[in-house]
Homo-oligomer: A and B are copies of this chain.
Amino acid sequence: MAETDVDNQKLIRRLKSIEGHVRGIQKMVAEDAYCIDIVNQIQAVQAALNKVSTAILDHHLHTCVTTAIRGEDATERERVISEVLNVFNAKSK
């Protein structure tokens, strides 16, 4: 199994756990749990999603971005850099 496949398996496991977490929050809502407890669980899911995003961005910088920056195609270099900035920006709004 290639390294990337192993990494993908890890990411999918984390996303499955996040999916289960979201299902748990539905149950909390259905059972009229305390609002603040629900909001705290939602924030926990968001933190878990941030970790997945960071792992993917880490992989991306080591692969596509590195390849593009080492390549000779200036347009492609610009494209990958501006994509990374957009992701950063979407966070920081």
Which A residues lie at the B interface, using CB under 8 A?
A: 4, 8, 11-12, 15-16, 18-19, 22-23, 25-26, 29-30, 32, 34-36, 38-40, 42-43, 45-47, 49-50, 52-54, 56-66, 69-70, 77, 81, 83-93
- Give A83 to B83 CA distance when docked, in angstroms: 17
Dominant SS among interface residues on chain A:
helix
- Give A25 to B38 CA distance when docked, in angstroms: 23
Judging by beta carbons under 8 Å apart, are A90 and B29 in contact? Answer: no
Q: Which of B54, B60, B65 contacts A92 (CB 8 A)?
A: B54
- Give A4 to B31 CA distance when docked, in angstroms: 12
Please name the residue on chain B nearest to A59 by beta carbon: B35
On chain B, the residues within 8 Å of A34 by CB distance are 64
Q: Which of B11, B25, B54, B86 contacts A85 (CB 8 A)?
A: B54
Judging by beta carbons under 8 Å apart, are B65 and A69 in contact? Answer: yes
